[in-house]
Amino acid sequence: MRACAVTVEEQIRANAEMTAALLGPLSHVDGFGYNAASVKWLEGFIERQRTRGLDDRAKTKLISNLGSYLGECVIARFGGAWQLQDGMWGVAFDSGNAVFPFNKVGNQFENGTACGGVYAWFTTIPIVFATLVKQTV
């Protein structure tokens, strides 16, 4: 009997759920989940991992899992849906406007927070996409 195929979006959500379940207890953030306080903690977590000098395989896996989680935070807070655009997975607010959480996590791993970390990026979304996003608490 063949197993049902899992879509990319389902795999991203599963990665995000697993990441939230693993990081929540480590974070000591009350109400850790898909919210701004958790994204703020995530920024520091990425910095701590970045300075450890991870090998490429570990870094790639972290970028995938943390990017999935960050994207689900965007969806929970501002709306949107996972979508493939120009060969990259991102959270689209409409056909022409999207954010790319995997890229942002990867950029922070490469450059640190000097050019803005994931939390700063997250907080600019409602400014840049003001007419497209919903605001939840």
The predicted-structure confidence for 18-67, as pLDDT tens digits, reads as follows: 999 999 999 999 999 999 999 999 999 999 999 988 899 999 999 999 99
Tell me if 3 is assigned to some domain: no
Tell me if 14 is assigned to some domain: yes
Q: Could you list the residue range(s) of the whole structural domain that residue 55 is in?
A: 8-128
Mean pLDDT to the nearest integer, 12-22: 97
- The Cα-based distances of 97 to 23, 53, 73, 125, 133 in angstroms read 29, 34, 17, 11, 10
Mean pLDDT to the nearest integer, 102-116: 93
Tell me if 27 is assigned to some domain: yes
Tell me if 90 is assigned to some domain: yes
Tell me if 24 is assigned to some domain: yes
Tell me if 133 is assigned to some domain: no
Tell me if 31 is assigned to some domain: yes
Structural domain total, the chain: 1
Tell me if 18 is assigned to some domain: yes
